[in-house]
Amino acid sequence: MAVEWDPEALICSCGGPKSRQARQCAKCSGKGETPEQRDKHALCGAKTRTGKQCRAWAGLGTNHPGVGTCRWHAGATPAHQKHAVALEAKKRMISLGTPIEHITAPEALMGLLRASAGTVNWVRQEIMELDDLGTHEAAVLLRLHDDERAMLLRVSEACVRAGVAEHLVRMETAQAASTLQVIRDAATDAGLNPKQLQALGVSLRKRLAEMSGEVTNTEAADNRLAELRAQIADDDERRIERAAAKRPPADLTYPPSEWAPTEPDAA
């Protein structure tokens, strides 16, 4: 009985041609390559019985080709598969990870603190949605919750030691001062007088004090703002009185145009 010929049996998993008896093509199996060509690619590198390094391709015969040891040197075991995943992740991290410009140590610590707090909150919500805490999933989540809480504690202690809170206060104060200066310049361009500018600044400080809960500063700013409003109102009244004094009476009549003096004729 003739054996049916399968054309797919002569195609490697990479798409290249292979022999009927071979599992992989020459490129994937590493056969037919010169030592110089092999030196340009990652190799297994495990120690053989002869004491030399294995010259097979890295990850040959495993689910992580190009990374880690080959299948003949425990490359297909779970431990080596996890190690290969870690190596591949580090490789991508080095090649794809780009530095973040203009970031300070306190800002980086605060980012880690917020990320860790968010992770703890997410794991807590996942645990609360479980009906049975005796399952394997619950055990994993509970252990992850403890680990993330410990991480959050360590990051919080690092933030305290680095003075992140003081740095944030200084940064927010500088940003507020810059914003106030921009508002002041815009108000000056709009034509506000000095007292109106001063009242605007006091009003902004009052709003900031209210947002931060500073009752004493809020009351002081409110009293000062009332004084400035009264002064502005008095200035407006005096300006109106001066303008009215310069205005001619309403019953004043002007002489007819023919009474106006005429210029002498030019000689």
Is the pLDDT confidence value at 26 over 70?
Answer: no
Q: Tokens 């490789």 identify what position? A: 91
What integer pLDDT is reported at residue 56 of this predicted model? 81
Is the pLDDT confidence value at 264 over 70?
Answer: no
Tell me what the pLDDT averaged over the chain comes to.
76
User: pLDDT tens digits, residue range 169-193?
Assistant: 777 777 777 777 788 788 888 888 8
CB atoms within 10 A of CB 172: 12
User: pLDDT tens digits, residue range 212-225?
Assistant: 778 788 888 888 88
Determine the longest span between alpha carbons in the chain, in angstroms.
141
Confidence band of 263 (pLDDT split at 50, 70, 90): low
Q: How far is the CA of 82 from the CAs of 57, 67, 75, 135, in angstroms?
A: 18, 11, 10, 24
| Residues of the chain above pLDDT 90, percent | 1
CB 193 within 8 A of CB 177: no
Which of these ranges, 14-28, 108-122, 185-199, has the smallest mean pLDDT? 14-28
User: pLDDT tens digits, residue range 235-262?
Assistant: 888 888 887 777 665 555 555 565 555 6
Backbone CA torsion sign across 21, 26, 29, 34: positive
CB 38 within 8 A of CB 54: no
- Is residue 90 exposed (0-12), middle (13-18) or buried (19+ Cβ within 10 Å)? exposed
